[in-house]
Amino acid sequence: MTNLVLDTIQNRRSVLRFDNTPIEKEKMEAIVNAGRWAPSWLNKQPWKFILVKDKNIKEQLSENIPTPFIQGLKEAPVCIAVVVDTTEDPFHYIEDGAVATQNIALAAHSLGLSSCWIGIFDVKNQKKSAEAYVRKILGIPQTYRVISILPIGYSRYEPPKPDRKRLDELVHRDRFGQS
């Protein structure tokens, strides 16, 4: 079966390196708009998106986020931080922010751009976590949590297509353990 949405889902890849080509304003708006249209519990839409273009801020982020994607944070023309208001939805903010992140990554791919989902959320909300550093660097209030940062740009290379588990390894019928 061929379908544009399914093709986008199956062909999106995490990219580690970006060239310095600027991203068109219309594409950035469409990407953030895709995040805005993500589903959320009771349509609370607890997210905010911080578009980081400043080279010094991206450098600070790369120094404080332990990830193999440090170079991508520095190189990408834009990094989008997905943050959620825990007072708006104290029970579902993690999944709300995650689905907004997924929409952003898929929208970027559908527009010929690449991204990489860098998970920032710290379950224990520790004072010296990457999330705490990101919150400080970006001036994020304490009632917000940082779910992710996505470097966005034009890829420097064609990422390989990874193997996936077979459906019969993942799908159970009626009860767990029945295939």
Q: Quick one: which of 119, 70, 76, 114 has its CA closest to 97?
A: 119
- pLDDT of 29-43, one tens digit each? 999 999 999 999 999
Q: Domains plus CATH for the chain?
A: 18-156 (3.40.109.10)
In terms of DSSP bridges, do strands 114-115 and 144-153 run parallel, antiparallel, or are they unpaired? antiparallel
Q: How many Å apart are CA 35 and CA 149, to the nearest integer?
A: 13
Using 50 as the pLDDT threshold, list the residues of the chain that sit under it.
none
pLDDT value of residue 68: 83
- pLDDT of 152-166, one tens digit each? 999 999 888 889 999
- The overall average pLDDT reported for the chain is 94
